[in-house]
A and B are shown apart, each in its own frame.
Chain A
Amino acid sequence: MSALEIKHLFGLRGVSKQDIRLILDHAKQFREVLERPVKKVPSLRGMTVVNLFFENSTRTRTSFELAEKRLSADTVNFTSSNSSVKKGETLVDTLRNIEAMKIDIVVVRHKGTGVPKFLADNSKAIIVNAGDGAHEHPTQALLDMLTVEEKLGTLEGKNVTIVGDIRHSRVARSNLWGMTTMGAHVTLCGPSTLVPRNTELMSSVTWESDVKKAVKNADAIIALRLQKERMDDALLPSMREYRNTFGITHELLECAKDKVLIMHPGPINRGVELDSEIADGENSVILNQVTNGVAVRMAVLYLLAGGRAHE
């Protein structure tokens, strides 16, 4: 087995093309495992993985847990709502206590940017980022990449358009770093209050305020979830205007390629960022993304463990 250059997965910014390739190739193999009658391999037998979720999550946590079980790891779920964190325990103490129980891998989701790196600095465990603030959500981007490759054969030279709340989206950040590393051309589009103002470090992508122009040459469109809090914060006037201006609708897709892939990290606000007929339509690959999520997470865990299971 080739080894990853990275020791932890904090994000996709700075991760090499070789590492991403290795993860995607392994994910494709695990994708085949998931189609077998017995969907389980012994790769992580004897290893313990803790899912440390300080933010609510159903989809990502379930996907990780399934991936861990498919790899035969022992898994423990730890959520802030039922933990000593509620009693005022610090993050470091929480981690050290869990680590003292001899765990090997920590999958963490937290509202704070950089928490996975902070945990890695204070622990011997392998850390996998399952979403940190608005920073990165690398496994979501990897599963998006896997889905595009699965449907279109390659990412190289493909046009991927991400529409929505770019400023607050960890999915968008991970996708723009990962997709551009893999040779795709990424276009970002959203209301001016929901896109970053300082785009110098993201110069490898195209910024487009007109959604019709943004989707025109797209091979894949990723619609981002719009959170209701954005209205409370006066970043947008209404869901209605958002839907009419930036929503992925049948009318909008008339401006796009016939075979354009429609993607969404979920959960969907139907009728806001994505119309139901599009979410359930023939261009939609949203459920493929969900299946690929398990495969990608299996690949990430397997490769990061890097043979530790047999030490």
Chain B
Amino acid sequence: MNKIVLKNVRPFVNGKFESPTTMNLADGKWVKEDLADAAVFDAGGALALPALFGLGLDFKEPLRDDIYDFKDGVDAMRRGGFYGGLYESSDNAIDDSRKLSAIKQISSFAGFAFSFLGAFSVGYKCKELTEMIELAEEGAVGFGDGNQDATRTRFLRLAMEYGSMTGKRFFFMPLDESLRHHGLVHEGHYADTLGMKGIPRVAETIAAFRILEMARFLKVPVHFKQVSCGETLKLIENAREQGVDVTCDVDIYHLLLDDSCLFNLDSHCNVVMPFRSASDKEALWQGLKSGTVNAISVNHDPVLRQDKEVNFEDAVPGAISLEIALPALWKSLVEKLGEARALELLSFAPAKIAGADSSDLSLGSKANLVLFNDKEETVVAPSLFAGQVRNCPLLGQTLSGKIKGSYLGGLWTEV
């Protein structure tokens, strides 16, 4: 329905939550006039947050729409209160403007704001440059590596040098494949105890350093996806002091889990950037506090049930998070950083990085919001998730807070 009256709701306006009030929502806006014909929902004092923006969406279309598609993805965004996201598929490189045009068409769900990363190399293979100028003209907001190692240094230079003509940002998940060397988990005492091949921190820092040096040399803005250790944050701080334009995000699950979860051997904890040590997790939280980290990413990566219902090492890596990101993080974020910073990290900053409009709430203007009761709880059950996938590392856990509904693109969805 495109009209709804939310009673007893506390909207986040001008940096704080207001006292319980009534919000009249119609045609995608928060309106003054009474909506006599609209349905009424008693929010019971729930918070009305500006809707969230997801960095790292991969809805698998078109090549793997047997797993997931944009319809599933938008369903997940409604359930989780996301009005938009930055899309980049690791299976399906957007490496020419026709592909970008096609995927923009597929993703044209009314009111949702998708931004797209073009690939800077054909098929993410780092052998041929893509037509970055055309991709930028078609609407690519930046150029990405598809979460595949792009640290072949000469190609990196050429890609960044050529792409610099567009003025767009380059997005990297810093991970040196040769140092990774088939590793799946953080190289630490849990991996050593279990006899599992580890990924050392230097696989990330060496890749990051190489990219930062290139960014400094070529004066190209860069973004690091899913930074997982404190050492990389130090490199970012140093590079910023030298004038490098670098932003970064941390993955939601890296703020919640560390490599001690390996002892459970739960294949849902098999993700591309591995969960690192408890001290790394703490360093990421410090990075959020200090401002070194710009945003929190969701990295919504659907994996079929049968590809996770195997032993840890044979599982397809990846995790979904759109539906549970808010209850999973909100309490900790607010306790450690405050409400305003929490929303900055989950909504405004990710949108800014992706070149999208923000979802500020104010009377008389466009309204995308998520209704969240921070006094209730969410049990992470399979029924929470859209589509046929369930690959969430928090399955079975109880989270603080519950999403009650979302008003996105002018459509009210009760969750």
**Which residues of chain A have a CB within 8 Å of any CB of chain B?**
13, 90-92, 110-115, 117-118, 122, 133-136, 167-170, 173, 196-202
State whether A134 and B196 are in contact (beta carbons under 8 Å apart), knowing that A117-B265, A200-B189 are contacts in the complex.
yes
Which partner residue on chain A sits nearest B191 by CB separation? Answer: A198
Query: Are B187 and A198 touching (Cβ within 8 A)?
Result: yes
Residue of B nearest to A200 (CB): B189
Are A173 and B193 in touch, CB under 8 angstroms? yes
Residues on A with beta carbons closer than 8 Å to the beta carbon of B190: 201
Complex interface: stretch among B123-131, B151-159, B305-313, B380-388: B305-313
Q: Which of B289-322 contact A (CB under 8 A)?
A: 306, 309-314
Give the Cβ gap from B161 to chain A, nearest Cβ, in Å.
33
Contact of B310 (CB < 8 Å), options: A90, A196, A197, A201: A90
**Inter-subunit contact A199/B311 (CB<8 Å):** no
CB proximity to A under 8 Å, residues B181-217: 187-196
Are A114 and B192 interface neighbours, CB within 8 A?
A: no
Task: Pick from B192, B196, B312: contact of A202, CB below 8 A.
Answer: B192
Other 5 A-B pairs with CB < 8 A, given A112-B311, A196-B189: A92-B310, A112-B312, A199-B192, A201-B192, A202-B189
A196 partner, pick from B192, B306, B312, beta carbons under 8 A = B192
Query: Given contacts A13-B193, A133-B195, A202-B192, are A115 and B306 in contact (CB under 8 A)?
Result: no
Provide the residues of chain B in CB contact with A202, threshold 8 Å: 189, 192-193
**Measured between C-beta atoms, what is the minimum distance from A129 to chain B in Å?**
12
A136 vs B309: C-alpha distance in the bound complex, in angstroms? 22
Distance in Å from the Cβ of A217 to the closest Cβ of chain B?
25
Are A199's CB and B189's CB within 8 A?
yes
Distance in Å from the Cβ of A130 to the closest Cβ of chain B? 15
Q: Contacts A112-B314, A114-B265, A201-B189: A92 and B195 contacting too (C-beta < 8 A)? A: no
The A-contacting residues of B in range 77-113, CB under 8 angstroms, are none
> Could you tell me if B192 and A115 are in contact, using CB atoms closer than 8 angstroms?
no
- Is the Cβ of B309 less than 8 Å from the Cβ of A113? no
Residues of A within 8 A of B192 (CB): 167, 196-199, 201-202
Closest 6 CB pairs of A and B: A134-B195, A114-B265, A196-B192, A198-B189, A135-B195, A112-B311
Among B187, B311, B314, contact of A197 (Cβ-Cβ < 8 Å): B187
Q: Which residue of the partner chain B has the closest CB to A135?
A: B195
Total number of B residues with any Cβ neighbor in A under 8 Å:
19
Given A135-B195, A168-B195, decide whether A114 and B311 contact each other with a Cβ distance below 8 A: yes
Please give, as numbers and ranges, the residues of chain A lying within 8 Å of B311 by CB-CB distance.
91, 110, 112-115, 118
Could you show 14 A-B contacts with beta carbons less than 8 Å apart? A91-B310, A91-B311, A91-B314, A92-B310, A113-B195, A113-B311, A114-B311, A115-B311, A135-B195, A135-B196, A173-B193, A196-B189, A198-B189, A202-B193
Looking at A13, A122, A196, the one whose CB has the most chain B CB atoms below 10 A away is A196
Known contacts A133-B196, A170-B195, A114 near B312 by CB under 8 Å:
yes
A118 B265 Cβ-Cβ under 8 A: yes
Q: B residues near A, CB below 8 A?
A: 187-196, 265, 267, 306, 309-314
Smallest CB gap from A118: residue in B: B311
A117 (CB) vs chain B CBs: closest residue: B265
A111–B189 alpha-carbon span in the complex (Å): 20
Docked-complex contact B194 and A198, CB < 8 angstroms:
no
Chain A residues near B193: list those with CB within 8 A.
Answer: 13, 173, 201-202
- A110: B residues at CB distance < 8 A: 311
Contacts of A173 in B (CB 8 A): 193, 195
CB-defined contacts of A167 to chain B, threshold 8 Å: 192
State the Cβ distance, A224 to closest chain B Cβ, in Å: 13
- Shortest B308–chain A CB gap in Å is 11
Question: Shortest Cβ distance from A190 into chain B, in angstroms?
Answer: 13
Most buried by A among B188, B192, B312: B192
Q: Which of A91, A92, A115, A198 has the most CB of B within 10 A?
A: A198
How far, in angstroms, from A23 to B312 measured CA to CA in the complex?
A: 29
Whole-angstrom CA separation of A136 from B263 in the bound complex? 13
Central interface residue in B189, B265, B312, by most chain A CB within 10 Å? B265
Report chain B residues within 8 Å CB of A200.
189
CA distance A170 to B309 in the complex (A): 24
A90 — which chain B residues lie within 8 A by C-beta? 306, 309-310
A135 surroundings in chain B (CB, below 8 A) = 194-196
Q: Which residues of A contact B310 (CB under 8 A)?
A: 90-92, 118
A110 vs B314: C-alpha distance when bound (angstroms): 11
Q: Please give, as numbers and ranges, the residues of chain A lying within 8 Å of B265 by CB-CB distance.
A: 113-114, 117-118
Chain A: minimal CB distance from B395 (Å): 13
Q: Is the CB of A113 within 8 A of B189?
A: no
Chain A residues whose CB sits within 8 angstroms of the CB of B196 once the complex forms: 113, 133-135
Complex: A136 Cα to B192 Cα, angstroms = 12
Closest to B312 in A: A114
Which single residue of chain A is at the shortest CB-CB distance from B190?
Answer: A201
Known: A197-B187, A198-B188, A201-B189. A113 touches B314 (CB 8 A): no
Contact partners of A13 in chain B: CB under 8 A: 193
Is the Cβ of A113 less than 8 Å from the Cβ of B194?
A: yes
Chain A nearest Cβ from B262, distance in angstroms: 9
Q: Which residues in A have their C-beta under 8 angstroms from that of B189?
A: 196, 198-202
Chain A CB within 10 Å, residue with most, of B191, B194, B311: B311
Q: Which residue of B lies closest to A119 (CB)?
A: B311
CB-based nearest B residue for A233: B181
Nearest CB in chain A: distance from B197 CB, A: 8
Give Cα distance in the complex from A91 to B307, angstroms: 11
Identify the closest chain A residue to B307 (Cβ): A90
